Every structure is written in C-alpha cells, then in structure tokens.
Structure 1
C-alpha cells in the first residue's frame, strides 16, 4: 500500500508566505502582521493539502487535482496574506482610505473567485452530503439570496458609523474582513461553484454577473461624489503622497465605482464565450446526417 504523503501545496504555500514576510521585512524595514493571520491562512492551506492529498481517496477524489488548480488556491491564500499584512495593512489602517479600498477589493473580488476555482468539485460534493449543509447551500446559493448577502455586506460596512468603528476596534475590523471574505464567496458561488450542477443555467449566470457590480458601484459613486470626509479617522491621519483627505476618499470611491466593475465584466465575457462555444458545439452535433444508401452512392 503506497504511503500517504503531504501534498506539495502546503509546503509551497507556507514557504512562500515566509519568503514574503522576510523579504518584505528587509525591503520595508518591517512587515506588520498579527499572529492570527499566518496561523489562519496556514490552517486553511493545511486543511486543503490534507483533503487533496492523503485524504483524497476517502473524500471521493478519483484523480489528483491538476497543478494549475491547486496553484490557484495557494496563490489566493498568498494574495490574502499580502492584503492583510505589510504595507497594504499599514496604509489602509493608518493613512489612506483609498489604500483600504485596495485591500477590500482584493479580498472580495480576487481572493474568493480564486479559492473557488482552486477547489475540486468532488470536495464540495463530499462536504454537502450532510442534509443540513445541503439545505444551507441551496438557500445561500440562490442567486437572489447570494446577491443580497454579498451586496448588503459591502454596503452596510461602508456606512460611516460602522466603518469608523473598524478603525478603532480590532475585533470589529477582524469581523468585517471575515464577513467580506465569506459573503464574497457566497456572492461568487452562483457563477463559480466548483461543482457545475450547483450553478444555475449559463444564461442566468450572465444576467447575475451583469447585475452584481451595481450595488458596489452605487456605494462607490456616493463616496466619490460626497463633498465632505465621511470617515474622520482619515481626516486626522498623517498625510502621505500629497493626498488631502477628500481627494483620497474620492480616489477610493472611484476604485469601487470603475475598476471593481471591470472584474465582473471580464468574468461575464468569459461566461459569454463559454456559452457561445457550448451552443456552437451543440448546433454542430445536431446536424442531420443523411443515411448512406445504394441510390445515394450511385
């Protein structure tokens, strides 16, 4: 019987995190992080490596996970680490609202899709075997529910009173980031669920992707067009890069308004071309074949 080995994704992920930390520490004269972040991401990598490695057979995985798929998952974890630590963390927490928006866009529009793409379909099917989890998935994966959960979370946390509390209390800030990541996974689930049978029809996916960016765009527009500083912590923060508080706020709002929508449009385009390709294949497969008879040969 072959000996079970730890999947290489764990070593690559942990070593890469260590390299980022130590190189960043030397380059930036320090790399700020909270111990919970590398521990949490390391735990996620360890669980993933165990599931696609030594536990794969018992969880229903017949073939090894392709290298590009597990590298996508590991890369998502590394982007999450960079987003929550080091310069991005320092700038977003202590200096610039626009820096905070960069962080939020990374953990809602880049990390969750990559985590879903990196998760094998058989692992999700196995996780949803318990009836309560299957029922919860059916509820949260309903496009309207997923839409409201994700969009509502983004909108509510940008209300000045709640947002300002994240800059004062660490536990509130941690809760905000966890909710952003979890609800973003829910928001992306209808179009990127690892098991395709869990997604709605491709036409509904495209409509969903067409509508998904609008709440974030509206929030970004309101922030951009505000003529006063909505988040006082940034008004009293030390100024860097010559940005005054209102200009910084406008840049952050524009990031939510314009570039954020680009991610959804790219995903929509990918879904459209997949739908078009599938339709073409189906049309070619339905071409009538005339039976070969003696009269036709002659």
Structure 2
C-alpha cells in the first residue's frame, strides 16, 4: 500500500463550515447584546463567574473549528479511522457542552405557555429520550456499510457530522440545564444526571472494546486507504477503539465529578437535589 503524508498545513478552510461557525458567533453576540445573556445571570457553580461564559463558548467554537477544518478532518476523511474517531469525539462530547456552558444562566427567549416547537424541544431533551437518541445515533453511524458510505458520499458525511453536533447539544442540554426564568423546567436531578452519563458511556465502551480486540478491520474504506505513519488497518482500528472508550469515558468521568462538585459546593442545592432525586 502506498504510504500517505499528512502535513500540519493541511487545513480544509471549507466556506460552509466557516460561515456556519461565524453565524454561531454572531447569534451569541446578538443574544448578549439583547440581554438574553447578562452579567447578573445565575450561573452558580458551573462557570463560577458570568464573565467566564464567553470563554467557554469561544472554546466550544474553537473545538468545532479544529474538528472540522484542521488536519484531523483531512486525516480522518482520507487515511485513518482513529483520527476520524477523534473528530467525532470533539463534535459530540467536547464542543457541545462547552458551547452550552457559554450560555449557562441564559434567560428563555420566549416565555409563556409552550407552543409546538417548545414542546417538541422539551420532549427531545427529556433526559431518558436524550440519552437514547445520543446512543442510537452513535451506534447507527458506526454500522460498517453506513460508515463507509459517509467516507465516499459527501452529502451523507455532512448529515453525519450535523447529526453528531445535534445529538451532542440534545444530550448535554439537560445535564448543564442552562436556561433561567420563572416558567423554566428543571430537567433532572443530580442522580439522574449521573445515570445519564453512566448509561450513555456503555455503548461506546462496548463498541470501542470490540474495535480494540477485533483481528480484522471493519471498514473497507480504511482497509484500502493509503497508510499513514506506518499504521496497519488493524492497528489504526485499535487506536480508534481506545479513543472511543478511553477518552470518551474520561469525559464522562469529568462530567460526573463536576456534577458532584456542583452539589457539594452548595449545601442548599444538595438538599434540593436530594429531595427531588430522579424527578
């Protein structure tokens, strides 16, 4: 197999991605200017100070930019399954929670009785629904025939990435619980948040372990791809498996620690969460 070369200068600079990220930053600036995100918001425990929120949001946008435009994107699309796995991890489990932390304490843009769209959103971010959707999207896209199709058909690849970002937002929304307001709905208690994080970690752990121990590659595209850094298809798949269950579970563990820290740092909240339990 012909060896490949990946240069640190191999950035994508795709106009649609750049415009999408610019639109996201513009929407955040408008929300801040219109007072939906304000300095006196209740952001207790998650970010400590309201002034830190733009930094979290900026970090989330930067992670998305790196995932979609850097050599990670080029290497994952052309050479290595493991780099593609890193990209998916960034899109589902790093960029979304950072961006949501960037609006923690935000006032709901619409108040009053919920309309159809708000009811649909509440259904999607119901903790158990969000966990199932997140896990199913992850599993479905890793079916070999579908995964290979994403690497040979650009439209399918775009849909895959958009779905990863969307389910990332849906999953992390009830965990961060960013909205504030008199009529807002508290999504879930502390123990249910932990159950979400633990439960969603099971599918990628199982699949990641399968990738790690399998004696043959599952994806024809990467089996035929030019070799990069001397990695064999099986070795590349093993690294992807470690990324999937290793790095993924580290993120879940960090989130569980933050949930506990949030409770133990506020005795009043601890009592409130204990009374609500899984409610």
Cα RMSD, aligned residues only = 2.2
Check conservation: 1:60, 1:126, Cα contact below 8 A.
no
Q: Whose helix proportion is higher, 1 or 2?
A: 1
CA distance in 1, matches of 2:195, 2:10: 45
Instruction: Tell me which of 146, 156, 160 is aligned to 1:162.
Output: 146
Report the equivalent of 1:48: 28
Report the equivalent of 2:240: 252
Check conservation: 1:192, 1:199, Cα contact below 8 A.
no
Instruction: Tell me which of 194, 201, 211 is aligned to 1:213.
Output: 201
TM-score scaled by length of structure 1: 0.78
2:34 equivalent to 1:34: no
CA distance in 2, matches of 1:282, 1:28: 47
> Across the two proteins, how many residue pairs are aligned to each other?
253
Instruction: Tell me which of 68, 71, 78 is aligned to 2:55.
Output: 71
- In the TM superposition, what is the alpha-carbon distance from 1:141 to its structure 2 partner? 1.8
Report the equivalent of 2:102: 118
Structure of higher RCO (CA pairs closer than 8 Å, 6+ residues apart) = 2
Instruction: Tell me which of 212, 223, 242 is aligned to 2:230.
Output: 242
- In the TM superposition, what is the alpha-carbon distance from 1:63 to its structure 2 partner? 4.2
Structure 2 stretches lacking a partner, 5+ long: 1-6, 42-48, 272-279
Instruction: Tell me which of 178, 199, 204 is aligned to 2:192.
Output: 204
Instruction: Tell me which of 145, 148, 154 is aligned to 2:132.
Output: 148
- In the TM superposition, what is the alpha-carbon distance from 1:198 to its structure 2 partner? 3.0
CA distance in 1, matches of 2:259, 2:8: 40
Counterparts of 1:124-139 in structure 2 under 5 Å? Answer: 125-127=108-110, 130-139=114-123
Instruction: Tell me which of 154, 160, 163 is aligned to 1:176.
Output: 160
1:117–1:35 CA distance, 2 compared to 1 (3 A): same
Check conservation: 2:37, 2:105, Cα contact below 8 A.
no
Q: Which has the larger radius of gyration?
A: 1
- In the TM superposition, what is the alpha-carbon distance from 1:139 to its structure 2 partner? 0.8
Counterparts of 1:103-114 in structure 2 under 5 Å? Answer: 103-114=87-98
User: 4+ runs of 1 displaced by more than 6 Å?
Assistant: 280-283
